[in-house]
């Protein structure tokens, strides 16, 4: 039982630390933001864009409220997080239906040419309309499993994991557009 309480305390401390970091990141000046190391810079910009999008009832309105650079960052980092967490199918199933139509252009903007080629080819080869992903809406884990079998998602995911991380391209992009964050 002592292990349980220790783990619970560790989780509580992690949440408390995350809230402290969030407050810090949201209140940073542009000068302080630009002086952060790469990892903290990424975390700060992620926190700031998530905070802006989170003020809206739906993700689409939140994304529209972002500056151009914030939108590029949000869309590409969201995509990378979803694919890294559960694959391209998860990206389509989750609320990314609002950002999927923007992804190809955003990948081009940051110079993620191989990622763009992989994504665009998958969409084209499988006849997926990123402007209408309603067929990916699910209500259960069983429905998610069925979705994963509709297209060769595993092949896409394996190819995605072989590419350089998008985050590596986002850091220089953030620094180049720091005034928009």
Full-model pTM: 0.86
CATH number of 13-176: 1.20.1420
Place of tokens 């992620």: 46
Buried-state track 59-85, b at ≥16 Cβ within 10 A, e below 16:
beebbeebeebbbbbbbbbbbbbbbbe
* Residue ranges of domains in the chain: 13-176
Mean pLDDT of the 86-110 span = 92
Residue 167: band (very low, low, confident or very high) from pLDDT cuts 50, 70, 90: very high
- Residue 103: CB atoms within 10 Å: 22
Phi-psi region of 21 (alpha: psi -120 to 50; beta: other; left: phi over 0): alpha
Note whether 77 and 170 are within 8 A (CB): yes
CB-based contacts of 83: which residues, under 8 Å, 6+ apart? Answer: 90, 91, 157, 160
Question: pLDDT tens for residues 49-86?
Answer: 999 999 999 899 999 999 999 999 999 999 999 999 99
| DSSP annotation string for 71-89 | HHHHHHHHHHHHHHHHHHH
Q: Rounded to whole angstroms, how far apart are CA atoms 111 and 173?
A: 9
Average pLDDT, rounded, for the chain? 90
Tell me, what's the pLDDT at 52? 96
């Amino acid at each position: 039982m002592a292990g349980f309480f220790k783990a619970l305390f560790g989780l509580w401390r992690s949440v408390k630390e995350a809230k402290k970091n969030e407050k810090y990141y949201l209140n940073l000046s542009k000068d302080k933001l630009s002086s952060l190391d790469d990892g903290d810079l990424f975390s700060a910009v992620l926190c700031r864009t998530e905070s802006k999008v989170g003020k809206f009832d739906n993700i689409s309105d939140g994304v529209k409220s972002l500056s151009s650079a914030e939108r590029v960052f949000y869309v590409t980092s969201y995509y990378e997080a979803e694919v890294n967490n559960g694959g391209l199918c998860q990206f389509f199933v989750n609320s990314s239906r609002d950002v999927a139509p923007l992804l190809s252009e955003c990948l081009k903007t940051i110079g993620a040419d191989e990622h763009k080629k992989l994504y665009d080819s998958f969409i084209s080869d499988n006849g997926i309309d990123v402007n209408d992903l309603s067929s990916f809406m699910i209500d259960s884990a069983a429905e998610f499993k069925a979705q994963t079998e509709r297209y060769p998602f595993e092949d896409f995911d394996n190819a995605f994991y072989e590419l350089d991380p998008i985050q590596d391209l986002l850091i220089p992009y953030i620094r180049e557009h720091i005034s928009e964050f």
